[in-house]
Structure 1
Amino acid sequence: MRRPVTLRDFGSYTAGGRLHRVTEGQPRDLPVTRDVTLTFDPRGTFAVEQAYVQYFIPDPLRDAPPVVLLHGGGMSGTVWEGTPDGRQGWLQLLLAEGYEVHVIDNAERGRAGFMPGLWPGEPVLRSLEDAWHLFRIGPPDGFAARRAFPGQRFPADSLPALAATFAPRWLSTAPQQAAAVKAVLDGLPSPILVAHSQGAEPAFEAIAQGARLSQLVLLEPSAEPDDPTPLAGLPVTLFTGDYLDINELWQGRAAAWDRFEARLRHAGTPLHRLASGTTLPSGHSHLPMHDHGHDTVLDTILATLGT
């Protein structure tokens, strides 16, 4: 069932980044269309490493902090805008519940843009096969026929639609991403941050650098903070999915989440653990925002806010 949404306002802005001066190179003529050639000078001052953010304010507006949605590795803010099989995304569902929402395309992803040659290494783009394996959709021999794990909630037949939203990513931009996330958070009044997978790493660093939140929601984080002290007193909700026994990577992540939970509880941090198959129905993947039952996952997360 689609939840109707009325907007009071929406727009976009950039946050963070810096000006980068290039002094090397020579001008050259480039054909920008079949009819126009322009002189391109690689030297000059360039705006780089900013985040691009879309914001949406619903009507009516709930008396609650704004929600910031932070994507994971190789993705952009589109991960929140709809499911691969055409259902409403968490963005629309949050707006229907009256939350103001800010959706990040972090530095070097999506509409944040990138500058060739600026960062060490080469960008990588995730394949469908990698996504099938990494997101725990199905067994390796099930990829060609899209035969998912028994009970899997991800719409496996729609994997190509998901892959069409993948963004090339650099593996050397963690500091730049953390700075951009902090700039977004610093511009909002103690927001609720929802971070997926690799997005947890810049989230933790931004918090360590002083970003203030009212709540942190982690969806299968692929990193933990070196020092959990900055999280002390910050309410945390941790979601974990199913099929975590399929290989050493996910067995290791499951053990890391258990250790992380124990460290937070020891520090007195209010923590809600939402696990597929226990507090939630079974069958969830690494992408709960796209699974069937994603609305139930979100409603369960929202029930933890402020508690």
Structure 2
Amino acid sequence: MFLPEEAVTLGGLPAGGVPLAGFGSFYAGGRQVRIEGRPIAQIQFTPTVDFDWDPNGLFHIEQAYVQWFMPADRRHDLPIVLLHGGGFTGTMWEATPDGRPGWLQDFLGAGYPVYVVDNVERGRAGWCPFTEFWPGPPILRSAEEAWSLFRVGAAADFAMRRPFAAQRFPTAAFDDLIRGSVPRFPRQTDDAAVAALGAVFDRIGRSVALVAHSQGGEIALRAALASPERIAALVLVESSGFPAAGTAAGWPVLQVVGDHLDATPLWIDLARRYRTFAADLTRQGVRNDAWFLAERGIIGNSHMPMMDDNSTDIAAEIAVWLAGVRS
């Protein structure tokens, strides 16, 4: 069993200004595979070093990579696990595109231990390039697609970089958002991602608050339903995944949804499904809240509330909600 309090204290090492008692990382899940029958290839490590590369042998694939952080001022026992959305890695939680502290620092500042996941085939989790194991090729989101899909502005206004009125995303730093995009597979690796996230829960060894964004909501819901004893609360930030009607465990659920939901037919449909999901949970007697931020008087949030100009305020409200469901 792995618990961060077993780590050596690091004496106030700062993360975005938050003193830490310790931090570390680990890999979880995946499987070993053996490659045979591929030809040996001559490659160059450097302009002066040739090497005969043998692609055959034993490899480990489909693992998750996790960084954990323990605040020096720990006020909550409940660990928060942050799961990225599609086309991103755990770095999306570390800082905003315009350089402000991200939700990682916000939740640490609220006194929570935090685990940041790079799930299967993302970031430092790594991935095997052999086509035997991946339904290639992967896709990469363009800046134009992100502009409209993330509800920064209308598709026709991308060239002028003209955002929606009252937009809270830092549009001057939009290119820094795109720098964080990575290739990914649309959904064919979901089963492996669910299994890897379950292995993360097992490695942590206690119930967690799982905070997931966008496509990560689908992975989070499936992993939570597969290991309900590992979940204390589920926070879905503009999730694009929903369980079948009538399928839920007993843990509380919070949905966080931004503004401009009439921007595209996709978002009109997703907004309807957020409400249907909340109503279904209520019928089942599951404690849940659906924060449609614009209806709460918080105008202008994009698909990326952890990066918007009020990101710290939203994180603070989530931290209070988590404290409440544990009381």
Fold in common (TM above 0.5): yes
> Which residue does the alignment assign to 1:161?
176
Q: Structure 1, residues 105-135: CA drift from partner, whole Å, max 9, x if none?
A: 0100011111112211311111110100100
**TM value normalised by structure 2:** 0.90
Distance in structure 1 (CA, Å) of the matches to 2:149 and 2:173: 16
Q: Name the SS for the 1:68 alignment partner.
A: strand
> Which residue does the alignment assign to 1:249?
266
Distance in structure 1 (CA, Å) of the matches to 2:297 and 2:315: 11
Superposed structure 1 runs of 4+ greater than 4 Å apart: none
Distance in structure 2 (CA, Å) of the matches to 1:7 and 1:301: 21
Matches within 5 A, 1:3-18: 4-18=17-31
Q: Structure 1, residues 245-266: CA drift from partner, whole Å, max 9, x if none?
A: 1121100001111111111111
> Which residue does the alignment assign to 1:201?
218
Q: Structure 1, residues 138-172: CA drift from partner, whole Å, max 9, x if none?
A: 01222122110001100112110010010100121
> Which residue does the alignment assign to 1:33?
46
The answer to whether structure 1 residue 100 and structure 2 residue 116 are counterparts is: no
Matches within 5 A, 1:254-273: 254-273=271-290
Q: Name the SS for the 1:141 alignment partner.
A: helix
Return the match for 2:240 from 212, 222, 225: 222
Q: Structure 1, residues 29-63: CA drift from partner, whole Å, max 9, x if none?
A: 21111111111111111010000111111102123
Q: Name the SS for the 2:117 alignment partner.
A: strand
More deviation, 190-199/24-33: 24-33
| Contact preservation (8 Å) 2:225, 2:249 | no
More deviation, 253-262/31-40: 31-40
Letter in 2 for 1:216: L
Unpaired stretches in structure 2, ≥5 consecutive residues: 1-14
> Which residue does the alignment assign to 1:187?
203
Letter in 1 for 2:196: A
Deviation at 1:205, TM superposition (A): 1.4
Distance in structure 1 (CA, Å) of the matches to 2:16 and 2:84: 23
| Contact preservation (8 Å) 1:232, 1:268 | no
Deviation at 1:280, TM superposition (A): 5.2
| Contact preservation (8 Å) 1:274, 1:280 | no
Distance in structure 2 (CA, Å) of the matches to 1:280 and 1:223: 26
More deviation, 75-84/178-187: 178-187
The Cα RMSD (Å) is 1.4
Q: Name the SS for the 2:256 alignment partner.
A: strand
Cα gap change, 1:38/1:164 in structure 2, threshold over 3 Å: closer, same or farther?
same
Letter in 2 for 1:163: I
Cα gap change, 1:280/1:56 in structure 2, threshold over 3 Å: closer, same or farther?
farther
Distance in structure 2 (CA, Å) of the matches to 1:149 and 1:228: 37
Q: Structure 1, residues 39-92: CA drift from partner, whole Å, max 9, x if none?
A: 111111101000011111110212321100000000000100000011110111
Distance in structure 1 (CA, Å) of the matches to 2:139 and 2:16: 36
Return the match for 2:148 from 115, 133, 147: 133
> Which residue does the alignment assign to 1:52?
65
Letter in 2 for 1:53: V
Distance in structure 2 (CA, Å) of the matches to 1:210 and 1:191: 11
Letter in 1 for 2:148: H
**TM value normalised by structure 1:** 0.96
Return the match for 1:76 from 89, 93, 100: 89
Distance in structure 1 (CA, Å) of the matches to 2:246 and 2:306: 26
Distance in structure 2 (CA, Å) of the matches to 1:280 and 1:297: 13
Distance in structure 2 (CA, Å) of the matches to 1:3 and 1:298: 15
How many positions carry a matched residue from both structures? 305
Distance in structure 1 (CA, Å) of the matches to 2:221 and 2:251: 12
Distance in structure 2 (CA, Å) of the matches to 1:218 and 1:279: 17
